[in-house]
Structure 1
Amino acid sequence: MKDYQPFWFKDALQREGDLHTITLSTDISMDLCIVGGGYTGLWSAIKIKEVCPELDITLIEAGLCGSGASGRNGGCMLTFSTKYPSMTKLFGTAEAKRLVSASEEAVFEMAEYCKQHNIDCDIRIDGTFYTATNPAQQGSMESTIQQLSVAGVNRWKQIPTADVQTLAGSKLHLEGHFSGAAGSLQPALLARGLRKRAIDLGIQIFENTPMQQLIEGQPAKVITPQGTITANKVVLATNAWMARQFKEFRRTIVLVSSDMAITQPIPDALNATGLTSGAAVVDSNTFVHYYRSTPDGRLMLGKGGNLFAFANKMLKAFDEESRFKPILYRAFRRFFPDISTDKIETTWTGASDRSVTGLPFFGFFRGHKNIVYGLGYSGNGVVQTYLGSEVIRSLILERQDEWSQSGLAKGPRGRFPIEPFRWTGAMLVRGAIRRKEAAEDNHQPPFWIDKQLAKLAAAAGKADK
């Protein structure tokens, strides 16, 4: 295990106490092998085992379960509702409505599941605020809310500005909409709790066991350093690492950082702002600012879209303290001028697998009906992985239902340009977005070219929470 551990994961391991891990050291045969010990892999293993307890299932993880994106994201439980306009274009109105409703129901289902199975992950279903922090952002939710209302699936309500400023804890907000179908949790605690639940169900978990090679066929073979797993079926759930492992995914995602800072416990300062709930707060930038409190009185703030990886390489910067502290600290001072940045305890960063559409995608690997994959959560994976596991379960069990027939289960919808054009384009768009949003924050008109370039990223929706 690497020496560096981001805040949430380090906290989760400290609470867990003594680690009891097993590394695969022999050849085994299984009904199902799941590769990847994050949310996607763990939820899939659990859901398949719960309906088919007779199956022998093993899960392998290159590090420790939850040590990737699942253990270091912002812990914001957000839904597909803000993606509704783009989903209608991609999947049609009926499927878009179903996915919005399913994602909102999933928020409450996850909370109930954690309660039933004693997964203590500081989960709080206190909703979310989507806000505008400058005049240019005002009205940005109107079209989405109108379309949701026409479809009969709108949970958003506009909140008076004074109330938003109080409830969301910052005078920077000029406008806000609230939905109760959202919340926050400690992400690494959820991952480690799911790991325990999986083990309790009889699923074998091998950590510090990376997949070195996948040999396709029936059965398939998963090669690891000290043993081979022969499995009738395989789930590939390594998400951001998929592009490195398999060439067909290299242009389906872009690895981009989401960077976060968290304070020491400051309950009195938080109470003074009014942010006393576990609501997730998200602004209307293209690469958003997001923040939320914790039950022990900390304040976490994050910013998406900072570091783009050339050729989707898993950069060292994705596994260390944030290189974008000035951006995080500047945002912190804008949102919370009365709280000193001296209260920030640490920062960290992580890789997000952003797809062309901003939506995850699933399918059969290279057409093999016994090998299923899922990735592309685009920074919105806390709730969406729960739904993704529904897709994976249906595909693995060969069910003909709404999940196996979902628009999400048709593979990637579009591809990024080849390198170096992808990275060069990403840098061009990122620079344009930064200039555009800086101008808007200063109540100045942005350059026309920056507005046009920013639309290229906005088309896929906001991400990285």
Structure 2
Amino acid sequence: MSLLQPVTRAKQRALWLQEALAMEPDAESAEPLSGSHRADVCVVGGGYTGLWTALQIKWLDPSVDVMLVEADICGGGASGRNGGFVTSWWSKLTSLIDVYGEEEGVRLARESAAAVVAIGTLCAEHGIDADFRPGGVLVTATAPAHRGAWDEAVRATRDRGFDVFTTLEPAAVAQRTGSPVHLGGVWDRSGARVQPALLARGLRRVAIAHGVRIWERSPAVEILRGRPPVVRTAFGAVVADKVVLATNAWLASLPEIRRAVLPMTSDMVATAPIPDRLQATGWTGDECVADEHMMVHYYRTTRDGRIAFGKGGCSHAYLGRITPQFQDPGRRVARTEQSFRRIYPALADVPITHTWTGPIDRSETNSPFFGHLDRNPDILYGVGYSGTGVGPSYLGGRILAATALERHDEWQDSPINRGPRSLYPYDPVRYFGGNMVRAAVVRNEHDLNANQPSGPLVQLLHRFVPSGLRDNEPVARLG
């Protein structure tokens, strides 16, 4: 038996979800699951991973009875409040090869790029108006020390014959992003942008059309680890041959997941619509933008001419427990807005109209992993997307669908489907040590922006940054 931590709703719905729900006025009045039910597969979680898993099971075998239970509404969690960056894994090619070997690392990177295309194709074929725009992703330097931080990723792809990245001169990056604070960058042409909540709600509609039984406002409270396993909700229960756990950071309280995933906050703000101002700055393309800071800044424009701007990694959890601070940005809003004002000083007078936040599931390697809970062949999970799951969740669905159906193909048998490859320290060391490291990262970010050296203590603590991030962030060193 495993008790699941209660999933709570964010204090403020994201701009994206507000827009989506305006088109579905009755979406939040769904009846919760009640009574006893039977299914071939029960998916817990109505975000991207859960919906893609349910859909891909149906694509592989339409006769399989799939039920999905969601604590809030589909898209109510990370899938409806992220930045809407649909990214591939080309930028992670080196780490994929280090962890999974040359052949599998390259295969996963290629498949991740194909997933971006597949998401756009599905939107077009099924009439999902999620504003999918394949404009790529600009990875930029907003601090002098970050110039060239992308060189290894560019070299790794080019050495293997893949033409993915275009290195841009500083003037070109400043023009395309609408701000001279950008000091250089590289354009990853494999990426796209999307309105994330509209994508999630669209996937829900397509899944229902394919026969998936979806129950919203039905939080899973307990998993009985028998054979077959049982998913208990507040008012009902589902007995299933296979259970797929796809609840993102909320899985981190489970003993098998706790040391492999660190729930962290990711905060976002959005401006008022300013289409004329964007035109004047020169930011007229559809690209997403992310800088090279460890507590990354990520931003893009919207269909109605806003800038949606986010900052990651501002708080983290003790024992994997997601507390109210994860659902209310509080004072963190000021820090996110301050970062926006620094990068876009010409827009200092533009008001912030929306703020929102929530947890992400940061793995130690900065990449997702999949497996069986406590080696139970009937309980599957996928977690650890680390804030970049919009595109890779499509692959997560393929992995979990193949495993649930016991296909023993390249997805079920992939080494990414063998649980976590690296663990964090035990709490309380992780929590209190992590707070110290985070403070050092914040200080280092300030020093990098000011082009000044960090002190020796900051440099020392910086060595304890998780391995998946360590190589991506320079330290403002003395001397």
State if a TM-score over 0.5 links the two structures.
Answer: yes
Residues 112 and 210 (structure 1 numbering): CA distance in 2 closer, same or farther, change over 3 Å? same
Superimposed CA distance per residue, residues 152-176 of structure 1 (whole angstroms, 9 cap, x where no aligned partner): 2340110121111111221111111
The answer to whether 1:370 aligns with 2:395 is no
Question: What stretches of structure 1 move > 4 A for 4+ residues in a row?
Answer: none
Q: Is the 8 A contact 2:364 2:466 kept in 1?
A: no
2:75 maps to amino acid: G
Superimposed CA distance per residue, residues 276-331 of structure 1 (whole angstroms, 9 cap, x where no aligned partner): 12211011111211110011101011111111122221121222345312211211
**Offset of residue 347 of structure 1:** 1.2
Q: Is the 8 A contact 1:322 1:349 kept in 2?
A: no
2:159 to 146, 150, 156: 150
SS of residue paired to 2:430: helix
Q: Is the 8 A contact 1:8 1:72 kept in 2?
A: yes
CA distance in 2, matches of 1:428, 1:132: 25
**Offset of residue 447 of structure 1:** 2.4
The answer to whether 1:336 aligns with 2:344 is yes
Aligned to 1:411: 419
Q: Is the 8 A contact 2:144 2:183 kept in 1?
A: yes
How do 1:292-441 and structure 2 match up within 5 A? 292-340=300-348, 342-441=350-449
Q: Is the 8 A contact 1:395 1:404 kept in 2?
A: yes
CA RMSD of aligned residues (A): 1.7
How do 1:145-294 and structure 2 match up within 5 A? 145-244=154-253, 246-294=254-302
Superimposed CA distance per residue, residues 223-251 of structure 1 (whole angstroms, 9 cap, x where no aligned partner): 1122211111111111211123x222111
Aligned to 1:41: 50
Superimposed CA distance per residue, residues 400-448 of structure 1 (whole angstroms, 9 cap, x where no aligned partner): 2221122211101122112111011211111111111211211112224
1:128 to 137, 153, 170: 137
1:404 maps to amino acid: Q
Equivalent residues, number:
462
Residues 77 and 407 (structure 1 numbering): CA distance in 2 closer, same or farther, change over 3 Å? same
Residues 421 and 154 (structure 1 numbering): CA distance in 2 closer, same or farther, change over 3 Å? farther
Superimposed CA distance per residue, residues 171-217 of structure 1 (whole angstroms, 9 cap, x where no aligned partner): 11111100211121111111111111111111111111111211123
2:450 maps to amino acid: N
Aligned to 2:5: none
CA distance in 2, matches of 1:407, 1:137: 32
Residues 197 and 390 (structure 1 numbering): CA distance in 2 closer, same or farther, change over 3 Å? same
Q: Is the 8 A contact 2:179 2:343 kept in 1?
A: yes
The answer to whether 1:446 aligns with 2:467 is no
1:252 maps to amino acid: A
CA distance in 2, matches of 1:36, 1:84: 29
The answer to whether 1:25 aligns with 2:38 is no
Aligned to 1:54: 63
SS of residue paired to 1:229: strand
Q: Is the 8 A contact 2:264 2:314 kept in 1?
A: yes
Q: Is the 8 A contact 1:72 1:187 kept in 2?
A: yes
Unaligned runs of 5+ in 1: none
CA distance in 1, matches of 2:191, 2:106: 17
1:353 maps to amino acid: D
Aligned to 2:3: none
Unaligned runs of 5+ in 2: 1-7, 473-479
Aligned to 1:112: 121
CA distance in 2, matches of 1:194, 1:374: 18
SS of residue paired to 2:109: helix
Superimposed CA distance per residue, residues 329-385 of structure 1 (whole angstroms, 9 cap, x where no aligned partner): 211111111113542102111101101101101011221222211001111111111
**Offset of residue 458 of structure 1:** 6.1
CA distance in 1, matches of 2:151, 2:40: 49
What TM-score does the superposition give when structure 2 sets the normalisation length?
Answer: 0.93
Q: Is the 8 A contact 1:286 1:457 kept in 2?
A: no
Q: Is the 8 A contact 1:259 1:322 kept in 2?
A: no
Aligned to 2:477: none
**Offset of residue 14 of structure 1:** 0.9
CA distance in 1, matches of 2:269, 2:167: 29
1:11 maps to amino acid: E
CA distance in 2, matches of 1:144, 1:216: 42
**Offset of residue 455 of structure 1:** 4.2
1:191 maps to amino acid: A
Q: Is the 8 A contact 1:66 1:188 kept in 2?
A: yes
How do 1:60-139 and structure 2 match up within 5 A? 60-139=69-148
Residues 266 and 322 (structure 1 numbering): CA distance in 2 closer, same or farther, change over 3 Å? farther
Q: 397-406 or 169-178, which moves further after superposition?
A: 397-406
**Offset of residue 452 of structure 1:** 4.2
1:11 to 7, 19, 31: 19
What TM-score does the superposition give when structure 1 sets the normalisation length?
Answer: 0.96
Q: Is the 8 A contact 1:131 1:173 kept in 2?
A: yes
CA distance in 2, matches of 1:128, 1:75: 11
Superimposed CA distance per residue, residues 95-116 of structure 1 (whole angstroms, 9 cap, x where no aligned partner): 1111111111111110011110
Q: Is the 8 A contact 1:260 1:322 kept in 2?
A: no
